[in-house]
């Protein structure tokens, strides 16, 4: 069943290729949406797709790429939106 999630990731998540790795992970899981850096040092993620891949994606966000240190990863359900791919904003 398709769903969307809206996440905010904090910790050492900027300057460690977090967005590029997030995009790659989302594409491997066939998720659509976007990722962007925020001025306060967090990373914001909006992803849509099937529930099981979204669960795997959220688990990955809690760890992040090798150089990241994720301190927190919030997750909220979001209304469905159509995207053609997963992009870095």
Domains contained in the chain, number: 1
Instruction: Identify the CATH number of the domain in which residue 84 sits.
Output: 3.30.70.100
Domain that holds residue 12: 2-88
Active site residue 36: no
Query: What is residue 1's predicted lDDT score, i.e. its pLDDT?
Result: 78
**DSSP per-residue codes, 59-81:** HHHTT-STT-EEEEEEEEEE---
Question: What pTM did the predictor assign?
Answer: 0.95
Active site residue 56: no
The residue annotated as part of the active site, out of 19, 36, 75, 89, is: 19
pLDDT in tens, 32-85: 999 999 999 999 999 999 999 999 999 999 999 999 999 999 999 999 999 999
Mean of pLDDT values over 17-25: 98
């Amino acid at each position: 069943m398709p769903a969307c999630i809206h996440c905010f990731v904090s910790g050492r998540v900027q300057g460690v290729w977090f967005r590029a790795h997030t995009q790659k992970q989302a594409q491997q899981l066939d998720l659509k949406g976007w990722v962007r850096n925020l001025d306060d040092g967090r990373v914001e993620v909006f992803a849509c797709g099937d529930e099981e891949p979204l669960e795997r994606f959220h688990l990955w966000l809690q760890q992040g790429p090798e150089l990241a240190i994720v301190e927190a990863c919030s997750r909220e359900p979001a209304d469905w939106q159509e995207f053609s791919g997963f992009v870095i904003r």
